[in-house]
Structure 1
Amino acid sequence: MALDHLLDPPRDVAPDDPRVGVLAHNERLLTVPTVVTLARTVGAVALSAVAAQQSSLVLLVAGLVVYWIGDVLDGAVARALGQESRVGALLDIFSDRLCAASFYIGLAWLQPDLAPAVFVYLAQFMVIDCLLSIAFVAWPIRSPNYFYVVDRRLWLWNWSPPGKAVNSAIVAVLLLVTGSMWVGLALALALVVLKTASLVRLLRLGLPVPGST
């Protein structure tokens, strides 16, 4: 039932609904989930840096695991403690980019033959996906996790549990498991297409204009 709820969230929710809307008392930088975000970012980046210095794929993968576990944990802590905030969501989005860049650049450093796939993936993740992710601030919702109240298809493609897994994990997993640049490049290009389609849909949707009728 819990998975069903994640895959098919309620349809009768408006952006200003208290279940998804901004909670002013949570909008502060120093909270338990933001501390978790900062800690996992420092840990992941530090491990990636040491991995590059020591030419250690094991340490690089350890940094990736810290990034992924921390990314799940900070969101779970925020929901459990009732501390979800737009500040925390934005910090999480930008921290994800730093962690991902540290891992993928480290991977290209250690395995230069994978560089084309790595940099195509990073191009879409650092630019297109980042733009999509921060667009939630145009609406009065707490994070992209609640974008289904704005557009369910965009949410499904980008911020549903399957969408997040495809966007943030599958390229890294396939590159590490297969060692094939071509497999990684094909998937990275597919993500470019998906993210570009998402961006076009977002532009067609239009950003809300305060006070408009």
Structure 2
Amino acid sequence: MWTSATVITFVRTIAAVVLAASAAHQGSLKLLVIALVVYWAGDSLDGAVARWRDEETRIGGVLDIFSDRLCAAAFYVGLAFLQPDLSPAIFVYLAEFMVIDCFLSISYLAWPIKSPNYFYVIDRTLWRWNWSHPGKALNSGLFAILLLVTGWMWVGLVIATALLVMKCVSLARLLRIGLPVPR
């Protein structure tokens, strides 16, 4: 369980959550953005280190997925606290990311692959939509950046709803493939 990558995951998660909580307490959007950068940079770093050191483990993948959810929740709840007018878009996004995307992301455990990054061996389309580099950028980066840059709740709500629909389509595709789970 304790690899260089999981240590990075723990450190980036603690740092991002503490920064987001401090940002909400201090009313600082700048500190909240720093929390988001720590989350994203740490998430990229832990995966890169795991692959570089040949330390990818299935349990490390699960830890990363759950840590991503905590970091995202801390950031978005902080953003809703600081900019309450964005709350409708934020909470649609959180429902999609915390529940449907989480289920999709841990579904890799039903197959003998190390993480969702290798889901292309199961279904290339699902992988492309959800875990390829462009898929990951569209699924997490686009929403946060547009909310921060524009502050337009309606644009965020349209994007969050589109992501929710795409994740529901992904879930339907996953269920058609069938999860090889013992009864």
- Give the TM-score normalised by structure 1: 0.85
Letter matched to residue 50 of structure 1: S
Cα distance, 1:168 vs. partner?
A: 1.4
CA distance in 1, matches of 2:174, 2:47: 24
Once the two structures are superposed, the pairs formed by residues 55-204 of structure 1 within 5 Å of their partners are 55-204=27-176
1:2-48 CA deviation, whole Å, 9 max, x = no partner?
Answer: xxxxxxxxxxxxxxxxxxxxxxxxxxx10000000000000000000
Cα distance in 2 for partners of 1:82, 1:102 equals: 30
Distance 1:209 1:123, change over 3 A: closer
Moved over 6 A (4+): none
Deviation (angstroms), 1:208: 2.1
Per the alignment, in what secondary structure is the counterpart of residue 142 of structure 1? coil
In structure 1, stretches of 5+ residues that fail to align are 1-28
1:119-170 deviation digits (Å, cap 9, x = unpaired): 0000000000000000000000000000000000000000000000111111
Render the CA deviation track for 1:74-103: whole Å, top value 9, x for unaligned.
Answer: 000001000001011000000000000000
Q: 5+ unaligned residues in a row in structure 2: which ranges? A: none
Greater mean alpha carbon deviation, residues 200-209 or residues 172-181: 200-209
Q: Which amino acid aligns with 1:79?
A: R
The structure having more radius of gyration, on CA atoms, is: 1
Separation in 2, partners of 1:41, 1:153: 30
Give, in angstroms, the shift of residue 207 of structure 1. Answer: 1.3
Which letter maps to 2:125?
Answer: R
C-alpha distance in structure 2 between counterparts of 1:94 and 1:169, whole Å = 18
Q: CA RMSD in A?
A: 0.7
**TM norm structure 2:** 0.98
- Relative to its length, the structure with more helix (as a share) is 2
CA–CA separation in structure 2 for the residues paired with 1:168 and 1:98: 14
Identity %: 69
How many residue pairs match? The answer is 182
- In structure 1, the partner of 2:12 is 40
- Paired amino acid for 1:57: L
Superposed, 1:198-213 pairs within 5 Å as 198-208=170-180
Q: SS at 1:169's partner residue?
A: helix
1:107 CA drift (Å): 0.2
